[in-house]
Amino acid sequence: MIYSEYGRTGAQVSAVGFGGMRFDPSKSNEENAQLLLYAQSRGINYFDTAPGYCNDTSEDIFGIALRQMADTRDRYCVSTKGMPTSIKTADKARRAVEKSIRRLNVDKIDFYHVWCIRRVDQYELAMKKGGQYEGLLKCRDEGLIDNIVISTHLPGPQVENILRRKEFEGVLLGVNILNFPYRWQGVQAAHELGLGVVAMNPLSGGLIPKHQKQLAFLSHEGQTPAEAALRFCLSCNQITVTLVGFTSKEHIDAACRIAEAARPYTDEDIDRVRAHVSENMNSLCTGCGYCMQSCPENIPIANYMQIYNEKPLLGRTDREMQDKIADNHIWGLLMDRAADAGDCIECAACEEACTQHLDIIERLKEIAGWEKKLNSRSARFLRLAKKAKGKLQRLCRL
């Protein structure tokens, strides 16, 4: 395993980080906890979780494992998070930190994130007088937290603006081989400022493994696109830790194997990939699901956006997209939908929540057009079927 210093914190952290957001829900907490112990035996020493992950079981799973890892407390780092939109005061920030410490069974939290900053006003909320950041500073003074860091989905220039204020020791952000041009300015700025950079979502929410054929151009030296994508994050000098959401020991082995074999990406390599990644690739839905709670009409936004991905990614025609939507109505992502794309009332709540800043309303309008054509196709089909049935009945009577 490769280790490097997280910014200027003195903490030596592994290039592969354990992301605690993909535990197998069919397994018990105790079984899932064994994955952390296995990861530690493979050299991973950065463990990242958050309240709410995996139906709010992730911190408990971590707690089971970290109790068993108590003898090695000085050899691993644990990271968790709190959202300023729900933790609005310094007192609440302290209570959230204490709660996480209890659940995780640790003496302190090594990296605590001001979490999920999707808009600048959310950052400002965290920083306001008497707000979350002030509470976290007190926790740091009292030894409950070692480092205050930020997790954000903002575009690169806005990330840079925030980091230049020197309030955080590092940044966690969704960056991968497909979307990196969108966030690279933030990554580069963090690196130049001597801050730690943790990359999440290295496989673009599963999109890269799902479209290996179409993304073959990402491959290099006999690797699959998914391996190339992991290698990209693991071997960029600017990225300190790459979080992989592990579900099995095999996933851990694969990530460690790639990390150990990874040759660093040079600036020329990065330019080569950038040249291949079109602008459209930055506007793909990663399936993170942050938009789903916001819709007053219960439209399955993430499902629709995942299907829409095929348009920019594969260059599908309108007719092909109609067929794709029709398939998904029958047996796929849209089978049990509570509402159609056309039910959107354009309140824009989902766009505010979207980590990729997608123009969801426009996309839903386009999809609604496809669904409308689909409905008129089905209506025509039903009319023809009715006509044929009538003819058949008349023939039978003759």
Report the interface residues with ligand SF4, using CB under 6 A: 285-291, 294-297, 299, 301-302, 305, 344-350, 353-356, 358, 360-361, 364
In angstroms, the CA 12 to CA 76 distance is 9
In angstroms, the CA 119 to CA 355 distance is 9
170 versus 205: smaller Cβ distance to ligand SF4: 205
Q: Please provide the DSSP assignment of 54-94 as one string.
A: HHHTHHHHHHHHHHHTGGGGGG-EEEEEE-TTT--SHHHHH
32 versus 176: smaller Cβ distance to ligand SF4: 176
Element at 52 (helix H, strand E):
none
Q: CA 92, 98, 99, 100 torsion: positive or negative?
A: positive
N residues, the chain: 398
94 versus 118: smaller Cβ distance to ligand SF4: 118
* Cα dist from 15 to 183, 239, 244, 260, 337, whole Å: 19, 8, 10, 9, 40
Q: Minimum CB separation from ligand SF4 for residue 323, in Å?
A: 22
* Cα dist from 346 to 308, 343, 360, whole Å: 18, 9, 9
Q: Minimum CB separation from ligand SF4 for residue 185, in Å?
A: 20
296 versus 390: smaller Cβ distance to ligand SF4: 296
159 versus 305: smaller Cβ distance to ligand SF4: 305
Q: Minimum CB separation from ligand SF4 for residue 340, in Å?
A: 11
Q: Minimum CB separation from ligand SF4 for residue 5, in Å?
A: 32
Q: Minimum CB separation from ligand SF4 for residue 270, in Å?
A: 23
Two tokens, residue 78 = 């644990």
CA 143 to chain centre: 30
What are the residues whose beta carbons fall under 8 Å from the beta carbon of 34, sequence distance 6 or more? 65
* DSSP 8-state assignment for residue 212: T
Q: Decide if 364 contacts 325 (C-beta within 8 A).
A: no
DSSP-H helix ranges across the chain: 29-41, 53-56, 58-68, 90-104, 120-127, 132-141, 156-163, 180-192, 207-210, 225-235, 249-261, 267-276, 301-308, 310-314, 318-331, 349-353, 360-397
Q: Minimum CB separation from ligand SF4 for residue 51, in Å?
A: 19
31 versus 297: smaller Cβ distance to ligand SF4: 297
33 versus 295: smaller Cβ distance to ligand SF4: 295
Please name which of 95, 96, 62, 94 lies closest in space to residue 82, comparing C-alpha atoms: 96
Q: Minimum CB separation from ligand SF4 for residue 205, in Å?
A: 8
Q: Minimum CB separation from ligand SF4 for residue 137, in Å?
A: 30
Q: Decide if 34 contacts 267 (C-beta within 8 A).
A: no
Q: Minimum CB separation from ligand SF4 for residue 79, in Å?
A: 21
253 versus 297: smaller Cβ distance to ligand SF4: 297
Q: Minimum CB separation from ligand SF4 for residue 215, in Å?
A: 18
What number of other Cβ atoms are within 10 A of residue 28's Cβ?
A: 12
78 versus 305: smaller Cβ distance to ligand SF4: 305
262 versus 358: smaller Cβ distance to ligand SF4: 358
